A and B are shown apart, each in its own frame.
Chain A
Amino acid sequence: MTNAKLQRVLYVEDEPDIREVARFALEYSGRFQVRICASGDEALKVVPQFQPDLILMDVMMPGMDGLTTMDELRKNPTTAAIPIVFMTAKVQAAEVSRYLERGAISVIPKPFDPRTLGDLVQEIW
């Protein structure tokens, strides 16, 4: 996708178990500085400060869902251009098309293998 090095990754996920295993998997790959958010609302506060190179985000979250969070990030000039990848179990063809049409650059299906998540994220980049 880009020649720039992928360093800062932010992951937005409401499920504590999934948050923890993804954080571990991404950090243990030794490639990324990882920041975690538990909700879309939290992400809207953290993203402008952390300025991630890439955002990984769940779609179905209580409160603000992933698609709405993406729309809100797009409205802010300081966060509008940050690429977003959805990590979701909602991966029927129509759903994936909708995410991509709305502006996500890719979709990682859940469940994922923590052993290969870092490689997968790097490949998408």
Chain B
Amino acid sequence: MPDDRLSAIEREIAKLCQSFAASLPERRDALIAGWSAFENSGWKGVGADQLYRAAHSLAGSAATFDFANLGRHARVLTDHLHALIDRANVTSDDRTKAQQMLGELLAELSKEIEARR
């Protein structure tokens, strides 16, 4: 592919990455709201779905926009939640682990948000 075409692609991708970066505060809020709903729902139903969707969305998109670490943290949380949602009994250890994973994801999100201010 010619160099000018390649650089045009890179410019456009950079623009899309900036647009994704601008959505990070909203995504952080969605995770926090999802966690609250998750706890209130007793780990089942709408709350679980809300948190899972917020984490899953980041897991599937962040690395496409050059946020590989964010994607990795989101993937870890998503996989854990996926296992919990299918399980009949969720232990306090499961909950603590999920909270810790969420904390690490939120910390990474905050780092990326701060870096772009």
Contacts and interface: CB of A to CB of B under 8 A. Distances in A.
A110 B65 contact: no
Contact of B64 (A62, A88, A90, A110): A110
Contacts of B65: 17, 21
A111 B16 contact: no
Interface centre among A24, A60, A89, A112 (most CB of B within 10 A): A89
A115 B61 contact: no
Interface in A5-37: 15, 17-18, 20-21, 24, 28
B72 to A, nearest CB: 10
A20 B64 CA distance: 12
B61 A111 contact: yes
Interface residues of A, number: 18
B13 interface: yes
Nearest to B23: A17
A114 interface: yes
Interface in A66-125: 88-90, 110-115
Nearest to B27: A17
B17 to A, nearest CB: 9
Nearest to B16: A21
Interface stretch (B33-41, B52-60, B87-95, B106-114): B52-60
Interface centre among A15, A28, A110 (most CB of B within 10 A): A110
B50 to A, nearest CB: 11
Interface of B: 9, 12-13, 16, 19-20, 23, 53, 56-57, 59-65, 71, 75, 78
Interface of A: 15, 17-18, 20-21, 24, 28, 60, 62, 88-90, 110-115
19 contacts: A15-B61, A17-B16, A17-B65, A18-B60, A20-B16, A21-B13, A21-B64, A21-B65, A24-B13, A28-B9, A28-B12, A62-B53, A88-B60, A89-B75, A111-B63, A112-B64, A114-B9, A114-B16, A115-B13
